[in-house]
Amino acid sequence: MLGKALIDAYREKGLARWDVVYNEFKSAAQQRLVRATLLPVARFEAPDDTPLPADCGFEPDYARLLQALLPRYIKAQLYRMLLESQAAELSARMNAMDAASKNAAELRESLNVAANRQRQAMITKEIAELVGGAEALAA
């Protein structure tokens, strides 16, 4: 639906260029913002300039073939860009959740250490009071 609307706008309104900005998914740890030109389609250059033989026919003609393939190409590229953007978003969320989990574990560990130190200080204080009281009674 989006692809058809964009192709129609390109044809009817005479847009000279159509760029798309999306998040490209490289890996779970790396995504990047990309600007890609979707229309006009980049021209394909054959590896060599060998022309087709004269007796070689091409069916259907170029215009009909382009008319049939261009909408499919645009829709496929848009779908790929949407999938890559979603994969990049989910990967970024997963990385953020992983970092939050690690930070929570570190915080829990530091709070455990602080609580243990405080408990040990209270025990040491009670022992000192008991020893002091016992010495006072013995004297």
* pTM for this model (two decimals): 0.66
What are the residue ranges spanned by the domains of the chain? 9-41+59-138
Q: What percent of the chain has pLDDT over 70?
A: 97
Q: Which residues pair with 98 in a beta bridge?
A: none
Ramachandran region, residue 14 (left: φ > 0; alpha: ψ -120 to 50; beta: rest): left
Q: In whole angstroms, give the CA distance from residue 4 to residue 70.
A: 10
74 CB burial (10 A radius; 0-12, 13-18, 19+): buried
- Predicted pLDDT of residue 46: 66
pLDDT tens digits, one per residue of 68-98: 888 898 899 999 999 999 999 999 999 999 9
